[in-house]
Chains A and B, each alone.
Chain A
Amino acid sequence: MDRGPAPRPVAAPSAAAGPAPAAGSARPYPPGEYPIVIVGSGPGALQASYFLGRLGIEHAVISGDDGPGGMFRRWPFFQRLLSWTKPYAPADRASREFERWDWNSLLALEPELRGIATEFMDGTSDFPSRPEMQSNLEAFAARAGVAVRYGCRWDSTRREEAADGDRFVIVTSDGEYRCRFPIFAVGVADPYAPATPGIELAVHYADTRDAASYAGKRLFIIGKQNSGFELATGLLQWASRISLSSPSPAKTSIETRSLVGVRARYVQPFEDSILGGGVDILSASTKGIRRLESGRFEVNLERSDNAMPLSVEADEVIAATGFVCPLRDLPALGVATFGQSKLPAQTDYWESASVPGISFAGTITQGAAGLKKHGIPANSGALHGYRYNARVLVRELARRHFGIEPERPALDIGDLRDHLLAEATRAPELWHQKAYLASVVSLDPDEGPRDEGILPLTHFLDAGGPDAVAMTIESDGASIYPVVYVRRGGKQEEHALEPDPLHDFEGLPYRRDLGTILDRLTAGAPAA
């Protein structure tokens, strides 16, 4: 079964719905009223628009950029992604299973639109280059007919009361857009720098210059996240010495066994540091930066281990201190934010937790953290996670506001066990969004087993409903294993299955163990 919404013919726009989208024209979606307005043209916006379009839900897409791709039109700075695509993975490129091995293609119902990222890779790396990624996204938008009004800058937002329901007014450089359900997919894209004295003397990661311009210079990089280590890795051959500093010790993704931490591609500075090769990795707070008479900079630090002062001289200081959400005036409308990235607080379905009606897509959806079991986050900050969030979001908006009920195929009770084990072994949604998205089967006695598709795990756990079972893939930082959640008589149970060294959960021990769990749930009707 394909887990996306079924395609429907695109409805002709009605007069009440506002101007025709004019997809395909040079500047589609003129200002006016639309049921939904998507702000942004990065992968999250494209994915949401794609699924809305396939359900025939009218909407506009506006962006201040010149073309599709969002941050991938510019970053990563050293032009190589952190997300892999394996063109020769053990699954057909047009299959759902292939998505597990392809972190960079957007989702599509049509086989010819799947796995597009593979077309643009030159064979030198399973991590596409930035231009390859941009081409991938441009091709998806063109082939899927995802139209965007580019060069249309979102300036401000307000609410407007109306007899048939409030509207959000999105004021842009092209005029005003009105809608009941805006979706903001604007990334985490505004450079952030802490209020450290002298921080204005540092250059933000976003403004890093050509690598050769750092030749022979001693660099101080504030921040030990991936962006800091990306710069350190790329500048190893140019800089005379590199210091990286933040209050906490840096951990690699291998140590955390998740995408938390510095990715394996950037471990070379660690080795240089350990071997005394001209890289210093410091655990210290930056107390201030000042310019010396020599024109160099002095970075004053306070060590995290003993609170002793430490000073480092550098020719250049780079602040790899992250980015924040460019939410403009949404907080003034009541959108609650949290964390250093100013992420909007969100519900299970990526709606603002404080302003109903406003939804989010793309990397911002990491603001709906889910269970974060064992401290491990979902991958909603990356394309291979948020592309599924966008599909589930559209499905929920369609159901809740547009009267479009999702498909819920009937399932033979005798196939339930094997269905769930196949999902655990192969469903890309479960593998990419561990302990976050679940494959759900409801067991309402009146309806019989129904495949409810992919749902947020927290929704399954908290929303109640008929007896049901949800399958997830989870990690505790040591191993990866399936977890079965059972809802029976309003109560919940959690059953972790054993890990398998080859991640194949369809063998006899799994059939036996899951069969035992399901037989209790299905009250005598064998689930296999």
Chain B
Amino acid sequence: MATRDEIADAIAGMAIFVDLARPQLIGVASRFEEAFFPQDSRVLRQGLTGSGFYVILDGEADVVADGQKLATLARGDFFGEVSVLLGEPPTADIVATRPLRCIVLGGPAVEAFLVDHPRVMFRMLQAQARRLRNANRRLTANQ
């Protein structure tokens, strides 16, 4: 993985970028940077400021809050956006459980990117709505 074309190919089928045409995918590939995290390393750290928005290209990661695993993320999943949007530290660790390749956009660049790509913002909102719905269902089931 490396070049813009290769990254554009890799993200072309992902739900969050599904509405983008090829030139826009190339644009995404040139605005994000590729990052690699060894297995067992932390990508985001609960409570520490200054994070970014990540989209997984390859590998897996766990979402761990206060030592408790909450979810597993894989190719096409994204994380870090809540922290960036709220301007608050992440509420969970993201820990690579296999070698993890991501594309990442630094926090300060996220707002401009989303404003420039409203369809990506819509897909992100959809994903957040699903997470909220599922959390509500779990809450209801536990009552």
- Interface positions of A (Cβ within 8 A of B): 194-195, 246-248, 285, 302, 304, 307, 336-342, 345, 347, 353-354, 367, 369, 371-376, 435, 458, 461-462, 474, 476-477, 492-494, 496
Contacts and interface: CB of A to CB of B under 8 A. Distances in A.
A304 B2 contact: no
B109 A375 contact: yes
A508 B30 CA distance: 45
A194 B4 contact: yes
Contacts of A493: 47
A304 B108 contact: no
A248 B23 CA distance: 11
Given A195-B5, A304-B23, A374-B50, A339 B34 contact: yes
B contact residues, range: 35 or more
Nearest to A339: B34
Interface of B: 1-5, 21, 23-24, 26-27, 30-31, 33-36, 38, 41-42, 45, 47-52, 89, 99, 101, 104-109
Given A338-B1, A339-B34, 8 more contacts: A338-B34, A338-B35, A353-B38, A372-B52, A373-B49, A374-B106, A462-B42, A494-B49
B31 A461 contact: no
B1 A496 contact: no
Is chain A's binding surface mostly helix, strand, loop or mixed?
loop
B99 A336 contact: yes
A247 B27 contact: yes
Contacts of A372: 52, 104, 106
A248 B48 contact: no
A264 to B, nearest CB: 20
A371 B80 CA distance: 13
From B21, B30, B50, residue with most partner A Cβ within 10 Å: B50
Contacts of B105: 375
Contact of B48 (A285, A339, A353, A492): A492
A339 B2 contact: yes
Nearest to A375: B106
Given A194-B5, A338-B34, A353 B99 contact: yes
Given A285-B26, A375-B108, A494-B49, A347 B4 contact: no
A261 to B, nearest CB: 12
